[in-house]
Structure 1
Amino acid sequence: MVFVFCLERYKCHAHICEIHDLTANCSYKELRNVPNDLPDDMVVLDLRFNVIHRIHDDVLGKYRYLKSLHLDYNNISFLPTNVFDGLEHLQGLFLTNNNLDFSVSYEVDVFRPLKRLERLDIRHNMKKGYTSKVQYPLFENLPNLKELSLDLIGDPGFDNCGFEKLQNITKIVFENCDLRLILNNTFSMLPENLEEIHLRKCNMIRSIEADAFRSLRNLKTLVIHHSNMTLESALKLLYPFENKHMRMIQFTRVNPGYKCPVETPSAVILTRQMMQHLQKICFNTLVLTENGIVDFEPKSLLWIQYPECIQNIELSGNRFSLINGFKLTELWDISRKLTNLISFDMSYNPLSYRNVGQNIKNFPENKLSSFNSFFWKNTESDKPLCLGKRNYVTPARESSVQTIHLPLPPNLRQIRHRHYLANQQLRNKIVFLNASNLIYLDVAYVIVRNFPEIELKGENNIKYIDFSGIPSWNTSMSLFANSTTVILGFTGIWQTVQHTRHYFSFIPEVEELDISGNQLWQLRYDTFFYNQKLRKLIMQGNLFDELPTALMPLEKLNFLDFSGNILDSINATMRNWLDKQQKKNGNFKLFLRGNIFKCTCGTKDFIRWLFETNIEFDEPNKQYKCMLSNGSITTTVKVYQKFHDHFSICHNEIWLRVGIGLLVSFITITVPLAIIINFKWQITYWFYRKFRKAVETELKKKFVYDIYLSYSNQSLYWVKNLLMPKIENCWKMKMCLEDRDISVGDAYVDAICDSIQQSRNIIFVITKDFSDKHWGRFEIERAKYEKYASNLQKIIIITRQVPVENFPTEFEHILNDVILINWSEAENENDWENLRRALIADIL
């Protein structure tokens, strides 16, 4: 009886916790206590995100083989003295985000049994607001401790923590930092062998003394992250490390502006005095990201005493430029000295943002005056930019120099310069010198007036290139000659790729290619003729309604991402090719998520192939959206599970064709005879009209909108003040307008597709600037697709004084299926009557 009871308890708990490979995952189970009926030989116990208030002192000792214990995000407020007895094998203990005030309740040695503990995390427990001395718990009986993470509250006292006994500790993370001051003796009791220290989320530091880290002789890594202190004060902490070697110095979001709820960094101008300690350190990696830096003095930022030590520099998320005035000369000198630099990152740099100037008002006037002569010029032609009480203007136009030569450090391998936003014109050509070791170049979303041509002087070994988001660039650049990974997403190549022979011949060595978001709907058969090494092709978010045959020459292709297009099936030719690729190259991956397939008699072979092929899909269960012949949406899994029910009628297709042929022949003969003999055509037409009205009434119930309206900026006034009131107020029809009914966001394309699908008709208002509309081409292609799918009743085109050369060519294949209304300038009643008849004449 007892055995049965215990067995039932274990089954019950096994249902609550997920037990696999000596790991018990009990997170998010709303447990109030630590379970005592788990297997005794567990190695990992995860109890995160429960409601445990107290741990009894005899429950954990049962699991004596535990190596990792996670108790984060509970309500634990007290730990009994013997709570960890028996856990002599524990290596990781995590107690973050509880209510454990170690400064008050834990002067006793609660961690004594944990002799093998290597990682201890007790962050986010102690409450903020302490102003007096805060004593921390005893750690001296943790001889194997390597990493310690804890809060830093009030006036911290580490003198009785036993840090001197921790011979193996190398890393301490201070988070939830609520210090007011960092004094020279604040960290004096930390272990001398410490190599890495982190200060994270320090909110109230008002003053810093330069010798605070004097006792940390072996410190190699200093990280200060998201802290409300000035960058100038933080840089003082580097004073003890002058003329010493450090692995990494990282200051990220160190700015008084990063304070909840509003996080707007104050503008920072680096001076030589601020950088004096940093310049005297031999460091490998420097990270100064998101610190609000808008400018720097000459011989300040990279004027380092030991340039040969530097291997990585990251300056992302600030707002300054290196390509400006005197900095070019300085950059030239510095680049020759950075002989071991491997990586340089200066991404996410919004130079043209207006709030740059607004934040400069926080700077002393004397610091600004020395920089204005370099970067600001008072010209009447330039628009003023308000910087506090004084008015400055945008930088003067640069000289007419057409080519700029940039010497690269000889060992530089990676340049990352993406999301560079500047209202400035770069030179027509940039020549990189000493670029033979460069293998990685990322300039995605560089938004400037004119993207320059880039040339390498010497051997070209670049393997990775990202040109995403750049609308125009020269494909003849030799930059791409040896690249194996090329990303060209959202570059607008649809304008040329569909009509250019061997378009991708400029990347003959490419193995991975991404051309997502380019509004492509067809490719020439020879598009990839010179890309025989291509293995991975990503074509997300385009307008393909079928797999292009241009893929067939790619014999090594084994990864194809076609998600987010408008595929309704895959034809037999491409299915056979995909299966051959699977057999030839093995493990072929095909991504199709985001397409809506057709599940009709014409695509039944595709549905069967989908579940029988050995190709690997992005949906492991192959559960894609599928449209039935009646217009309802289901999934391919449900259709395949009831394959016979859905496609049994397809076996009678031959007889159905014979029947339809006989019926057509009968009607062809009898109707003309009936008209000639009996003159009964009025009755036939009356029945047709009534039948059409009933069908239309039923269809209307499925529509959310009567009209989806596509228009450009030039017709915005006419649409909102004339067309919309007439249709919605007078004719009582519901319209879908892009500016009013579609929300901007990551799912904007899906929102347009859904709105057109839910509309009965679509009206295009064509003006001179319609071809410049960003989503105009997509709306036209989607309208053609919905018309083909019998979801759209009418396509109406209203032309308003548009020249023939500006009329969208995408309509040329469907002109017989659209209603064209040439709107006169006089706005007469005939135009409104023609539109009214086009919309509602058939159902009146």
Structure 2
Amino acid sequence: MELADKTGHLLFPGAAFLHLKKLQNLTIDLYGYPVFGPEFEHLPLKYIKFKSCHLKNLRNDTFKNFPATLSEIHLSKCLSIKTSQIGVNVLRPFISLSFLDLSWTFVTLTKGLELMYPLINRTMQLVDLSHMRNLRTNKFAVPHTIILTEEMMKHLNTMCIQILNLADNNIVDILPRSLFGSEHLECLEHLDLSGNRFGLFSLKYELPFYAPKLSHLRVFDFSYLALTYLDAVYMPATTSADQYHSHTKKKRKHDYCAGETSVNVTIPSKLEVLRITHVLGAPPFPQLTLNNISSLRYLDMSYYDIKCFPDIFLYNRDIQLEYLDISGIDCELYFKKKNLPYFPVLKELYMRNAHFYRAIDKNINIFKNTPNLERLDLDSNYMFTLPSSFIMHLDHLIHLRLSENRLSHIPAAITDLPRLKTLNLKGNRIFTLYPEFTSWLDAQQIKLGYFSLKIRKNDFSCSYENRKFVRWLNSTMVHLDNKTYYCRLSNGSLSNTNTVLMNYHVIFSNCDAFVWLRVGVILLVSFFMVLLPTIVIYNFRWRIIFFCYRKFRGIVENSLKLNYDYDVFISYGYDGYSWVLETLTEQLETKWGFRVCLEDKEFHKWQIDV
């Protein structure tokens, strides 16, 4: 760039690019008061992006030397330019333009719509007028509010536009025949109105009427809205919209769920994506009837401020929804409904901040209506457990997110999910991964070739009982979200798994000594428990034998009804006569209590008696 004159105009010479005979895409900075040389006219450009845009003004002749082949222009994030310094015919040189991006430029949407004047009756693939606001001079400045009127939209409504982005422009109301007053509504495929503040009644009466004309609309986004009953609160007192919205100035009924009548919504026949996220002040719909829902594939109604979930009636029950996000809506509002739709092909379900613990407490399994889920997100639901019956039938589940809950252990049903490849347990109260689960993780890694595990921000314990988990972290092939994790030692101090692993033998040396001490005590006790009974049995073996003999003989005598006078009969030789009479008999009769029969004693007495 060269200084052209003392007024601050910057010359962008195109001579440096002339040898690039096939140059089609150009990204260049834009500063001050730009002047583009005549050489640019000979470049075969189709795409240009002004990446660092610090303009002071844009005159009607700023781009006069650009080639007629340009079809895509990105003039976004121009933060220094003023609305008064932009010519209304600045886009006239671009006769082949089909992509126009003016997003994040600090001029008002009203000025952006005026710049459409040279593009009247054009066919455009993209017109991005999102995030266009006046630069605030201080934090207390009131943001510029926009009321879309038929006059403001008159240039845009002559164009055949496929993608129209008016997001985050402080639009507070949409008057009749403004947004949907286009002559070519059948061209519109993607409409983004997110981040504005217009009321529900701005669309309630026009959208059903124009829905048949929106025959090619595939994406409709009006997220981050602030819907309100008092739509006229942002309107000047003189606007003609006061009369149009006069019926909205009514007080809310005490019974919130009875505040509105049933609503019949006709969805455009080819609508595939519908986003209505982060909507505040949503009125109640006791009954909601949906038509032409078979084309819808993507529905995001997360953080929709609803206090009364409607009874849903489907005119066409052929539901082909693949993506559903109902995060931020208390699940208690809908899990008791008996007419909840069945989603046969739903692949992704997001239920963050939905108080899902209430469904668990009441054992209401809403996943029975979603048998083919591949991704399930239950982040931040205050769950202390997840019953096996809730997910064990989800054989197609690949991604499961249970982060930011209160889980103290990993649900056992996870190991019954054959196709699971990613598991997010971050921010729970898990203190260890047991060997049964780590073995399953390693098996999944080998079987599927990839497994991702996120376990940061848990209350891990590096005690002796969990030492196998610490070693597993260093040896596993599973893709972890960190190389080291904080954990608490047995003495209560805080460390990390990498430090524990490096000092493994030092930290757990006392634990090993305690184990050997325990083994020694067990062996010593076992020895005495075996030795003492052995000694007693050996020393009193004859008494034990005779005791058993007497018991056995008593049982036999009683069974045979016999009664013997003597317990023992002793037959002996002559050389043992004195030992038998003096020692053995004395021992048997005196100490052991047996009645002894001796041949020389008892038989002799018997003969005398005879």
Whether TM exceeds 0.5 here: the answer is yes
Question: Does 1:510 pair with 2:370?
Answer: no
Question: Does 1:607 pair with 2:470?
Answer: yes
Q: Contact (CA 8 Å) 2:359, 2:365: kept in 1 or not?
A: no
Deviations 1:271-302 (A, max 9, x none): 00100111110111100011110101111112
Deviations 1:70-122 (A, max 9, x none): xxxxxxxxxxxxxxxxxxxxxxxxxxxxxxxx3417x9xxxxxxxxxxxxxxx
Q: Contact (CA 8 Å) 2:232, 2:245: kept in 1 or not?
A: no
Residues 559-638 of structure 1: pairs in structure 2 closer than 5 A: 559-619=422-482, 621=483, 623-638=484-499
**In structure 2, which of residues 226, 236, 253 is the aligned counterpart of residue 350 of structure 1?**
226
Partner AA of 1:521 in structure 2: F
Show the counterpart of 2:50: 173
State the shift of 1:337 in Å: 1.3
Distance 1:656 1:353 in 2: 76
State the shift of 1:400 in Å: 5.3
- CA, structure 1 residues 397+218, in 2 after alignment: closer, same or farther (shift >3 Å)? farther
Which deviates more, 310-319 or 190-199? 190-199
Partner AA of 1:598 in structure 2: S
Show the counterpart of 1:466: 325
Question: Does 1:104 pair with 2:3?
Answer: yes
State the shift of 1:209 in Å: 4.6
State the shift of 1:260 in Å: 6.4
Q: Contact (CA 8 Å) 1:282, 1:310: kept in 2 or not?
A: yes
Q: Contact (CA 8 Å) 2:208, 2:266: kept in 1 or not?
A: yes
Question: Does 1:539 pair with 2:402?
Answer: yes
Deviations 1:578-635 (A, max 9, x none): 334334433222111111311111111222233233322112x3x1112111111111
Q: Contact (CA 8 Å) 2:224, 2:278: kept in 1 or not?
A: yes
Tell me how many residue pairs correspond in the alignment: 514
Question: Does 1:215 pair with 2:76?
Answer: no
Q: Contact (CA 8 Å) 2:9, 2:32: kept in 1 or not?
A: no
- CA, structure 1 residues 562+375, in 2 after alignment: closer, same or farther (shift >3 Å)? farther
Distance 2:497 2:300 in 1: 39
* SS in structure 2 at match of 1:478: coil
- CA, structure 1 residues 636+375, in 2 after alignment: closer, same or farther (shift >3 Å)? farther
Distance 2:177 2:187 in 1: 18
Question: Quick one: percent identity of the two aligned structures?
Answer: 29
- CA, structure 1 residues 167+581, in 2 after alignment: closer, same or farther (shift >3 Å)? closer
* SS in structure 1 at match of 2:466: helix
Distance 1:245 1:152 in 2: 30
Distance 1:377 1:502 in 2: 40
- CA, structure 1 residues 373+399, in 2 after alignment: closer, same or farther (shift >3 Å)? farther
Question: Does 1:320 pair with 2:198?
Answer: yes
Deviations 1:444-501 (A, max 9, x none): 1111332434454321010111111111332452154431110111100112214416
State the shift of 1:213 in Å: 2.1
Show the counterpart of 2:605: none
Question: Does 1:416 pair with 2:294?
Answer: no
Distance 1:212 1:235 in 2: 13
**In structure 1, which of residues 450, 453, 456 is the aligned counterpart of residue 308 of structure 2?**
450
Question: Does 1:150 pair with 2:29?
Answer: yes
What are structure 2's unaligned runs of at least 5 residues?
A: 524-610
Show the counterpart of 1:641: 502
* SS in structure 2 at match of 1:579: helix
Q: Contact (CA 8 Å) 1:502, 1:530: kept in 2 or not?
A: no
Partner AA of 1:530 in structure 2: H
Distance 2:256 2:498 in 1: 61
State the shift of 1:169 in Å: 4.4
State the shift of 1:219 in Å: 0.8
**In structure 1, which of residues 345, 358, 366 is the aligned counterpart of residue 238 of structure 2?**
366
Distance 1:370 1:345 in 2: 24
**In structure 1, which of residues 170, 190, 194 is the aligned counterpart of residue 66 of structure 2?**
190
Distance 1:581 1:451 in 2: 40
Show the counterpart of 1:47: none
* SS in structure 1 at match of 2:363: coil
Q: Contact (CA 8 Å) 1:208, 1:234: kept in 2 or not?
A: no
Residues 768-779 of structure 1: pairs in structure 2 closer than 5 A: none
Residues 354-503 of structure 1: pairs in structure 2 closer than 5 A: 360=234, 365-367=237-239, 369-371=240-242, 373-375=244-246, 401-422=260-281, 424-458=282-316, 459-472=318-331, 473-475=333-335, 477-478=340-341, 480-500=343-363, 502-503=365-366
Distance 1:153 1:398 in 2: 57
Distance 1:196 1:525 in 2: 53
- CA, structure 1 residues 575+174, in 2 after alignment: closer, same or farther (shift >3 Å)? closer
* SS in structure 2 at match of 1:252: coil
State the shift of 1:433 in Å: 1.2
Question: Does 1:527 pair with 2:390?
Answer: yes
Q: Contact (CA 8 Å) 1:208, 1:236: kept in 2 or not?
A: no
Distance 1:310 1:239 in 2: 19
Query: CA RMSD of the aligned region, Å?
Result: 3.2
**In structure 1, which of residues 224, 234, 249 is the aligned counterpart of residue 102 of structure 2?**
224
* SS in structure 1 at match of 2:103: strand
Distance 1:335 1:479 in 2: 26
Q: Contact (CA 8 Å) 2:462, 2:487: kept in 1 or not?
A: yes
Show the counterpart of 2:511: 650
- CA, structure 1 residues 397+153, in 2 after alignment: closer, same or farther (shift >3 Å)? farther
What are structure 1's unaligned runs of at least 5 residues?
A: 1-101, 108-129, 383-393, 663-844
Q: Contact (CA 8 Å) 2:146, 2:172: kept in 1 or not?
A: yes
- TM normalised by structure 1 equals 0.56
Distance 1:373 1:272 in 2: 14
Distance 2:65 2:511 in 1: 83
Distance 1:418 1:209 in 2: 37
Distance 1:468 1:332 in 2: 27
Deviations 1:627-653 (A, max 9, x none): 111111111122122222222333344
State the shift of 1:539 in Å: 0.4
Partner AA of 1:366 in structure 2: T
* SS in structure 2 at match of 1:253: coil
- CA, structure 1 residues 455+479, in 2 after alignment: closer, same or farther (shift >3 Å)? farther
Distance 1:441 1:263 in 2: 36
Deviations 1:247-273 (A, max 9, x none): 100112222255666675311000001
Residues 786-797 of structure 1: pairs in structure 2 closer than 5 A: none
Q: Contact (CA 8 Å) 1:409, 1:434: kept in 2 or not?
A: yes
Distance 2:177 2:521 in 1: 86
Distance 1:496 1:256 in 2: 47
- CA, structure 1 residues 287+629, in 2 after alignment: closer, same or farther (shift >3 Å)? same
* SS in structure 1 at match of 2:508: helix
Deviations 1:735-761 (A, max 9, x none): xxxxxxxxxxxxxxxxxxxxxxxxxxx
Deviations 1:304-328 (A, max 9, x none): 211221111111111114x427x43
* SS in structure 1 at match of 2:441: helix
Partner AA of 1:549 in structure 2: A
State the shift of 1:353 in Å: 12
- CA, structure 1 residues 210+399, in 2 after alignment: closer, same or farther (shift >3 Å)? farther
Deviations 1:321-358 (A, max 9, x none): 4x427x4342112221122211111111133599x988
- CA, structure 1 residues 501+553, in 2 after alignment: closer, same or farther (shift >3 Å)? farther
Q: Contact (CA 8 Å) 1:597, 1:627: kept in 2 or not?
A: yes
